[in-house]
Amino acid sequence: MTQEPEIRVGLITDGKPQITTADGGHLIGNLLIGYGFHWQESVSVVVGGELEPLPTPQGKIHIINRLPLEQYLESVTGSEMNPSAPQEFMKAHAVISRSWALRKIKGNGGELPSESNKNFCEVTEWEESDSHTGFDVCSDDHCQRYQGRHSAGVSVAAEAVRLTRGLILVDSEGDTADTRFSKCCGGMTERFSACWSERDFGYLSCRPDPWCGLPDMEERERSGFLGTILKDFDRKTVDFREWTAFVGKEEIRTRMKQRYGVDIGDITGLRPIDHGDSGRITRLAVEGTEGTFTVGKTLAIRRLLAADCLKSSWFEVHPAADGFRLEGHGWGHGVGLCQIGAAYMAFKGKSFREILDFYYPGTRLMKLYE
């Protein structure tokens, strides 16, 4: 049995951090949430623990918030989902958020971001949180949402963390499991290697998720249920299980120049080359009048096709005037726990252990500290 560790959180702010003293903590007046995504906004939050300057700022991260892991988790659990969600779901989320964070603290969370096979005609890249140096995790969706004490103050989230204190998921070898999660898998989860490095975990596999579609719910009940589990800024995103989007040819050409310094002339087509087991596109060929450029993996595709990041890379392409109409599925990478599906499992009476067994088969719970 070990002691509860501390965690160092890099706070993403909109410019130089706006810090004032607050009751029981520090008021951060300009924390960025949803950075680089379609729900991005600047908010004011109160954080506990200690604040330290980052010697060399990394992008929009200038300060580090150092605090006990369980205090951090109270905020994460209440920041990722609405604290009025079913308690068994919140308990499951507390366990996976603790497991994932512990891997980062221990420094075995994965590999550095890769830009392998990068040349004029193809780029393969992904983003791993291990790209951070000087702190363990950042405060936003790149890692886990950490939006201060305003999220932790609701009793359900804090109680879920308390009831699972010290519990983590481990694999068959006893190693801390890589407990990825996404907002909505669209009915099918995805394997790890479709989104990140070329390795896989047996408990992060592609499998149907019948819970994600909220079966047997009428539209009014469905809307009410989503209102109890999604944060207000997430509720602004509609049609996230099945969705459509238009992508203009000139938009693609401009972003390709900006991100990769590549110009293949007028864009003429989008052609999926490789797919993950779920159907998510892992390599996409962008065809132009002066050549073809191939991009992967899933997040790179999403960022190339939309300035605020496409909801997912699981879509079908249909030509349209001056662009392409995409018919897509799901919100996020789809690996591991589906937050919508897990919340519905709890709503239907499933325990947090049953939820974890469904999304991370072959893992088991272990008490790390009291």
**What integer is the mean pLDDT of 324-330?**
98
- Find all residues with CB under 8 Å of 355, minimum gap 6, and list them: 88, 89, 92, 337, 342, 345, 346
Tokens of 52: 């330290």
Average pLDDT, the chain: 91
* Helix residue ranges per DSSP H, 26-175: 69-80, 87-106, 149-152, 155-163
pLDDT for 108 beyond 60 = no
Say which residue, 15 or 148, is predicted with more confidence.
15
Nearest in space to 83 (alpha carbons), one of 72, 94, 98:
94
**Per-residue pLDDT at 116:** 42
Say which residue, 260 or 151, is predicted with more confidence.
260
**Per-residue pLDDT at 39:** 76
Rounded Cα distance between 124 and 115, Å, is 6
Determine what percent of the chain is predicted with pLDDT higher than 90.
74
Tokens of 267: 């864009």
Nearest in space to 159 (alpha carbons), one of 88, 68, 80:
88
**Residue with the two structure tokens 């989230």:** 157
Task: Give residue-wise pLDDT tens across range 240-281.
Answer: 899 999 999 999 999 999 999 999 999 999 999 999 999 999
Nearest in space to 9 (alpha carbons), one of 55, 59, 49, 56:
49
pLDDT for 139 beyond 50 = yes
Dihedrals phi, psi of 301, to nearest 5 degrees: -65, -45
**What integer is the mean pLDDT of 285-308?**
96
Tokens of 293: 């450029």
**Per-residue pLDDT at 114:** 44
What is the model's pTM? 0.92
Q: Is 58 helix (H, G, I), strand (E, B) or coil?
A: strand
- Hey, how many other C-beta atoms are within 10 angstroms of the C-beta on 367? 11
**What integer is the mean pLDDT of 87-115?**
81
**What integer is the mean pLDDT of 172-191?**
96
Q: How many CA atoms lie within 13 A of 143 on its CB side?
A: 32
Task: Give residue-wise pLDDT tens across range 1-22.
Answer: 589 999 999 999 999 999 999 8
The one-letter amino acid at 174: G
- Find all residues with CB under 8 Å of 151, minimum gap 6, and list them: 45, 75, 78, 79, 83, 157
Q: How many CA atoms lie within 13 A of 46 on its CB side?
A: 10
Query: Is the distance from CB of 231 to CB of 77 less than 8 angstroms?
Result: no
**Per-residue pLDDT at 81:** 86
